[in-house]
Amino acid sequence: MAKRWSVVDISDLKNLAQRYSAQAIAEKMDRTVGGVTFKAHQLGLPLKARSRATDPEFTDFDWTESHNMSSASDERH
């Protein structure tokens, strides 16, 4: 079963989509590339093309710069 998108997940996606590819976002958010791409499309978010120049290595990804640590209820979108 697919993971539901919480308010925090959607906020993170909006922040990350400005700088990273669907592949990098999917790896960090523990989601499929298709799931990230589909949700970005639903929200009207453009995604960057995958590039070694702009995508960090998985371990170098600065999650704290975009991850909102507040807890929010799970929204069904």
Domain ranges of the chain: 1-49
**pLDDT bracket for residue 73 (50, 70, 90):** very low
What pLDDT is stored for residue 55 in this prediction? 55
Q: Which tokens hold the place of 41?
A: 């499309």
Beta bridge partners of 21: 48
Higher pLDDT, 13 or 65: 13
**Phi/psi at 20 (5° precision):** -125, 160
What pLDDT is stored for residue 70 in this prediction? 42
Q: Tell me: the pLDDT tens digits for 15-56?
A: 999 899 999 999 999 999 999 999 999 999 998 887 654 555
